[in-house]
């Protein structure tokens, strides 16, 4: 948990990361992996120290963030499978929340494995869906935290924004899941038809077809 003074900067980082992931996640997939690797690594490393050890916590957050970014970049080739596994776990949690509360860990693992396997067959669509909806949720949590929502601020400073800011929020914020779905769909459409490149693939300059000689 980050100190209160650093929760607003953490919220701003979530907003930037959420925007990039939601609308250009496919085109900048490596960059998105680096951003979220930095966030995860920083939160994990900073949790080692108490809130009173501000200097060590900040240094640990920076070091852990860099390590996390490098780790996810190194795992770029399995990044698609990780996105699919994350989507599978999310679907399991959403489904069981509507039925009987939290799912059994075995169910989460089963859905994660299925999502990872499916992701290897449908890479483009899995990356777009994963980055659009993951970025949308991150953007919403970051925005709420930036506006002073206590639950969202705690989520911005915690290691798991999905658990710290649940899918069934307080009655006064029942709009959050609907806003997430709408924003995720918008990000999906934008990536599919605008930012994802032709057929969702970015053509590098040296890969463009040369004009045929007459």
Q: For residue 109, give the nearest of 122, 129, 91 by alpha carbon.
A: 91
* Rounded Cα–Cα distance for residues 40 and 56 (Å): 17
What is residue 170's predicted lDDT score, i.e. its pLDDT? 53
pLDDT score, position 178: 86
> In this predicted structure, what is the pLDDT of residue 162?
43
The pTM (predicted TM-score) of the whole model is: 0.68
Task: Spell out the per-residue pLDDT of the chain, length 214, in tens.
Answer: 555 566 677 778 888 888 999 999 888 888 888 888 888 888 777 777 766 677 777 788 889 889 988 888 877 767 778 778 888 888 888 787 767 767 778 888 898 899 888 888 888 888 898 889 988 988 888 888 777 766 655 555 554 444 445 555 555 667 888 888 999 999 999 999 988 765 544 434 444 455 555 5
pLDDT for the residue numbered 103: 76
Q: Print burial letters for 141-173: b (CB count within 10 Å at least 16), e (below 16).
A: bbbbbbeebebbbbbbbbeebbebbeeebeeee
What per-residue confidence (pLDDT) applies to 182? 94
């Amino acid at each position: 948990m980050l100190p209160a003074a650093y929760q607003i900067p953490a919220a701003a980082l979530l907003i930037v990361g959420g925007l990039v992931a939601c609308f250009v996640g496919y085109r900048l997939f490596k960059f998105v992996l680096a951003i979220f690797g930095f966030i995860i690594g920083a939160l994990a490393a900073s949790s080692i120290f108490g809130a009173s050890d501000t200097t060590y916590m900040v240094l640990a957050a920076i070091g852990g963030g860099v390590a996390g970014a490098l780790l996810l970049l190194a795992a770029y080739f399995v990044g698609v499978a990780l996105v699919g596994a994350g989507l599978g776990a999310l679907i399991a949690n959403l489904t069981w929340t509507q039925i009987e509360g939290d799912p059994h860990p075995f169910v989460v693992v089963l859905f994660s494995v299925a999502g990872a396997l499916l992701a290897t067959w449908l890479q483009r669509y899995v990356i777009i869906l994963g980055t659009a909806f993951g970025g949308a949720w991150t953007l919403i949590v970051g925005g709420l935290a930036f506006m002073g929502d206590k639950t969202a601020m705690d989520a911005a400073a915690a290691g798991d924004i999905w658990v710290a800011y649940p899918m069934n929020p307080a009655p006064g914020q029942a709009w959050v899941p609907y806003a997430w779905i709408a924003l995720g769909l918008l990000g999906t459409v934008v990536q599919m038809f605008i930012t994802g490149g032709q057929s969702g693939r970015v053509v590098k300059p040296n890969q463009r077809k040369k004009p045929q000689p007459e």
